[in-house]
């Protein structure tokens, strides 16, 4: 029985060493964490009220702009892959740093889609708000944000007609 425990202890030690080695090698494969230049910023071009701008920055800008604040765990694989993937996907779907200022109909559609996703509680996603409590939106926050988004979308639609 004692011999079996000694063998198991040695195996566990080597498994631990191998896991540490693999983890170390994974750190060499971290994806790029970039913040390209801002072209046309949503807040700069639409000038929402300060509380709405603060809500947008707290709940949306990390994934949907080129102003991402990269947390410490975005430098540690495999979490780095997940964070970079989420940011890249968020920017691909909606990017506040490349806002279509010269296309009011397109901007209005984006604002309407944002309002809908926020209203249905699809955004911000729960996996994000778990680690970012400042991004959690109360019912009042959601109401304020969706009211402004809807009003701004209507204003832009009126300019197209």
**Burial class of residue 161, CB neighbours in 10 A (0-12, 13-18, 19+):** exposed
Question: Tens of pLDDT along 17-36?
Answer: 667 665 665 566 677 889 99
Does 8 map to a domain? no
Does 95 map to a domain? yes
Does 16 map to a domain? no
pTM value is: 0.82
Does 25 map to a domain? no
Question: Tens of pLDDT along 50-76?
Answer: 999 999 999 999 999 999 999 999 998
Question: Tens of pLDDT along 108-121?
Answer: 999 999 999 999 99
Q: Could you give the C-alpha distances from 122 to 79, 83, 119, 155, in angstroms and in order? A: 22, 18, 8, 25
Instruction: Please tell me the predicted confidence (pLDDT) of residue 141.
Output: 98
Does 7 map to a domain? no
Does 103 map to a domain? yes
Question: Tens of pLDDT along 73-83?
Answer: 999 888 899 99
**Burial class of residue 59, CB neighbours in 10 A (0-12, 13-18, 19+):** buried
Would the pLDDT of 134 be above 90? yes
| Average pLDDT of the residues in 142-161 | 95
Structural domain boundaries enclosing 43:
31-160
Contact 40, 144 (CB under 8 A): no
Does 136 map to a domain? yes
Task: State the pLDDT confidence band at 89, using cuts at 50, 70 and 90.
Answer: very high
Total structural domains within the chain: 1
Instruction: Please tell me the predicted confidence (pLDDT) of residue 160.
Output: 82
Does 68 map to a domain? yes
């Amino acid at each position: 029985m004692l011999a079996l425990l000694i063998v198991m202890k040695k195996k566990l030690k080597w498994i631990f060493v191998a896991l540490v080695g693999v983890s170390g090698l994974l750190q060499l494969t971290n994806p790029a964490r970039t913040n390209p230049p801002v072209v046309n910023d949503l807040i700069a071009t639409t000038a929402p009220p300060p509380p709405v701008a603060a809500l947008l920055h707290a709940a949306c800008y990390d994934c949907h702009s080129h102003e991402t604040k990269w947390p410490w765990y975005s430098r540690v694989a495999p979490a780095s892959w997940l964070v970079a993937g989420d940011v890249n996907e968020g920017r691909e779907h909606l990017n506040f740093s490349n806002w279509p200022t010269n296309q009011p109909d397109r901007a209005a559609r984006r604002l309407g889609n944002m309002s809908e996703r926020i209203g249905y509680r699809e955004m911000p996603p729960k996996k994000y708000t778990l680690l970012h409590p400042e991004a959690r939106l109360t019912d009042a926050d959601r109401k304020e944000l969706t009211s402004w988004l809807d009003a701004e979308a209507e204003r832009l639609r009126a300019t197209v007609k």
